[in-house]
């Protein structure tokens, strides 16, 4: 991993504050010279309140049906060696971890399955599904995003929390929704965002701590799940019908399968990714 030169939080805070309302952030810095994002399209609120507990994103709320799809994501081939993350650049980050922090890009579970795979219904959903009022929480704790992969519905609040006594900036890079780049210089700060269009594979990063990354997926419906530390997933509340189920991984790409489920029926759908 490349050595990152650490700048003082005060210097970076000034730079981030200049560009945090920008329309299209750049990778190299927390500032940008693009036009400010349109507030009508992407609502935002920010407070200094205490952080909320992180929401569970392994399975979405039920959609009113009685069918379900469940399965596992297997991994074959040679698993990459876990990459140790160095946080020496910021003592506030390093002192919060008593054990080594490992990259979450590829996490192969002990049973030969793959964690952090976003599994969702890509095609076949009919009807309208109002966005939940409860937010999905993206927490920054120990200079680390939790969860690493999450799903959210269109117009559902995303609450971004800084649980660290260190400056973070949140640089989100969607292509169908307006990008944003915001500064959170104080512990306990919260920012709320909403996405207005479905979009998969939105990367979140922190320019202050470049080892931090997370991935968000925006859907018009609640039929999604994320594979857990057993490599399993469950999509529940489906109406009877025929669906295309897609599995997305940040390194290994996507796979799709078609499945037909009846009322009250549970179907198993398994995926398998091959290590490179």
199 found inside a domain: yes
| CATH code, domain carrying 25 | 2.60.40.420
40 found inside a domain: yes
Q: List the one residue out of 130, 129, 55, 115 whose CA is nearest residue 82.
A: 115
106 found inside a domain: yes
pLDDT computed for residue 64 by the predictor = 82
Q: List the one residue out of 107, 139, 126, 140 whose CA is nearest residue 228.
A: 107
Q: List the one residue out of 181, 105, 102 whose CA is nearest residue 148.
A: 105
CB count within 10 Å of CB 172 equals: 23
Q: How far apart are CA 150 and CA 209, in angstroms?
A: 20
Position with higher pLDDT, 181 vs 20: 181
71 found inside a domain: yes
| β-pair partners for 77 | none
Average pLDDT of 90-116?
Answer: 95
Position with higher pLDDT, 59 vs 96: 96
How far is C-alpha 118 from the chain's CA centre?
Answer: 9
Q: How far apart are CA 209 and CA 94, in angstroms?
A: 11
The answer to whether the Cα torsion of 21, 27, 32, 35 is positive or negative is negative
Residue whose token pair is 């398994």: 270
Domain count of the chain?
Answer: 1
Instruction: Please tell me the pTM assigned to this model.
Output: 0.80
2 found inside a domain: no
The answer to whether the Cα torsion of 108, 110, 113, 116 is positive or negative is negative
pLDDT for 29 beyond 90: no
pLDDT computed for residue 62 by the predictor = 53
Average pLDDT of 127-132?
Answer: 95
3 found inside a domain: no
Average pLDDT of 146-164?
Answer: 98
Query: b/e for 226-262, b at 16 or more Cβ within 10 A?
Result: bbbeebbbebbbbbebebebbbbbbebeebeeebebe
pLDDT computed for residue 43 by the predictor = 39
1 found inside a domain: no
Largest CA distance in the chain: 59
pLDDT computed for residue 21 by the predictor = 34
Mean model confidence pLDDT for the chain: 84
Position with higher pLDDT, 127 vs 44: 127
Between CA 267 and CA 263, with CA 124 as vertex, the angle to 5 degrees is 40
Range of the domain at 30: 9-274
pLDDT for 38 beyond 60: no
Q: What is the pLDDT of residues 166-190, one digit of tens each?
A: 999 999 999 999 999 999 999 999 9
263 found inside a domain: yes
Position with higher pLDDT, 82 vs 141: 141
């Amino acid at each position: 991993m490349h050595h990152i030169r650490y700048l003082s939080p005060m210097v970076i805070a000034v730079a981030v504050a200049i560009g945090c309302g920008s329309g299209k952030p750049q990778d190299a810095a927390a500032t940008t010279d693009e036009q400010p994002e349109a507030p009508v399209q992407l609502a935002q609120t920010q407070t200094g309140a205490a952080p909320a507990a992180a929401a569970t994103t392994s399975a979405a709320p039920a959609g009113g049906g009685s069918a379900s799809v469940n399965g596992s994501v297997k991994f074959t081939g040679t698993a990459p060696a876990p990459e140790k993350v160095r946080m020496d650049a910021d003592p506030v980050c390093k002192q919060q971890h008593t054990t080594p922090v490992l990259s979450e890009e590829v996490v192969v579970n002990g049973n030969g399955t793959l964690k952090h795979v976003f599994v969702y219904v890509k095609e076949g959903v009919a009807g309208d599904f109002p966005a939940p009022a409860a937010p999905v929480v993206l927490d920054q704790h120990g200079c680390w995003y939790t969860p690493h992969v999450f799903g959210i519905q269109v117009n559902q609040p995303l609450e971004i929390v800084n649980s660290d006594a260190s400056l973070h900036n949140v640089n989100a890079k969607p292509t169908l929704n307006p990008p944003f780049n915001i500064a959170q210089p104080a512990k306990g700060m919260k920012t709320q965002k909403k996405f207005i269009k479905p979009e998969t594979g939105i990367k979140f990063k922190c320019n202050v701590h470049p080892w931090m990354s997370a991935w968000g997926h925006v859907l018009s419906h609640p039929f999604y799940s994320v594979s857990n530390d057993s490599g399993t997933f469950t999509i529940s509340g489906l109406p009877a019908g025929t669906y295309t189920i897609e599995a997305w991984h940040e390194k290994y790409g996507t796979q799709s399968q078609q499945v037909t489920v009846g009322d009250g029926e549970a179907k198993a759908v398994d995926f398998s990714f091959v290590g490179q």
